[in-house]
Amino acid sequence: MTNYIKITDMGLCKPADYCESESTNSSIYGVLSYVAPEVLRGQEYTKAVDIYSYGIIMYEIISGLPPYYNVSHDENLAIKICQGLRPKFDIKVPELIVHLIKRCLDAIPSNRPTAEEIEEILRSWRDDRVKALRKQIKEAEEMNKKLPTCSIPSVNLGISCETNHEAIYTSRLLNFKNLPEPKNSHDYYKRNDNIISLESLEYLRIDKTKNINVDGKI
C-alpha cells in the first residue's frame, strides 16, 4: 500500500499505426489543450511540460469542465495559448488554489513550480498549515451558492456542457507552424481570483462562430 498518487499519460503519445517514415522526429502528438505552449512550438520536452499539464488537470477537476470545451481545437487556439490564453473559472475558487494553477500554467517554463514544490504545497494544505485556505474555501462556497444553477459545474466533469464539435480530446498530430513566442497576458499575476482576467480574455478571445480572432486576423 502506498500513499503516493501518480499522474501518467498526458496524451503526449502517438497512434498505434504511427510510422516514423511518414513524419519527422520533430512531429508532436498530443491533446492540444493539455500541451505546454513551448512544446507546441517544437521545443524540447521537459519536466516543466508535465507541470503545465498538471495545472490544466487541476483546472478541469475544480471547474468540472474540459479546458477550452466551447471552441475549436485548431491552429487558432494554439496561437492564442502561446499569446497567453488560459481557461477561465465560472465559479469562485480559493485564491491560493488559483495562484498555484497560474504558476503551473506560466508561459515561461522556469517560472513553474517543481513537482517537489507542489507536493510540499499540497501537504501544507492537507495538514492545515495554511489556515487561510480553509477560510477561502468557506468564502467560495458561500459565493457559489448565490450563483445561478447553470453556473455550477456538473459532478460529471462537464458531460452536461455543450462541447464544440471541433474540440478534440484524443491524441493527434499537432502540426502547427510559426507559432508566436509563448508569453503571459500582461496582467497575469496582477489578480489571483481567476486564472485569466476578463480584460485579457476579451483581448484574446476566439470568435466561437467563425473561429477567428476578433480583429479578423489569424
Compute φ and ψ for 62, nearest 5 degrees.
-75, -40
Residue 191 is predicted with a pLDDT of 83
Model confidence band, residue 86 (pLDDT cutoffs 50, 70, 90): very high
Higher pLDDT residue, 171 or 161? 171
pLDDT for the residue numbered 3: 64
Region 20-204: CATH code: 1.10.510
Q: What percent of the chain has pLDDT over 70?
A: 75
For the chain, give the mean pLDDT: 82
pTM here is 0.82
What's the mean pLDDT in 165-169? Answer: 90
b vs e for 88-100, b when ≥16 Cβ sit within 10 Å of the residue's Cβ? bbbbbbbbbbbeb
Q: What is the CA radius of gyration of the chain?
A: 18
Express each pLDDT in 112-164 by its tens digit.
999 999 999 988 888 766 688 888 989 999 998 887 765 555 544 444 568 88
**Minimal CA–CA distance to 70: which of 216, 209, 212, 215?**
209
Q: Which residue has the higher pLDDT, 166 or 155?
A: 166
Contact 203, 109 (CB under 8 A): no
- What pLDDT is stored for residue 157 in this prediction? 43
Name the residue ranges covered by the structural domains of the chain: 20-204
CA 87 to the chain's CA centroid: 6
Q: How far apart are CA 105 and CA 111, in angstroms?
A: 9
Q: Which three cell numbers stand for residue 208?
A: 466561437
- Per-residue pLDDT tens for 62-78? 998 999 998 999 999 99
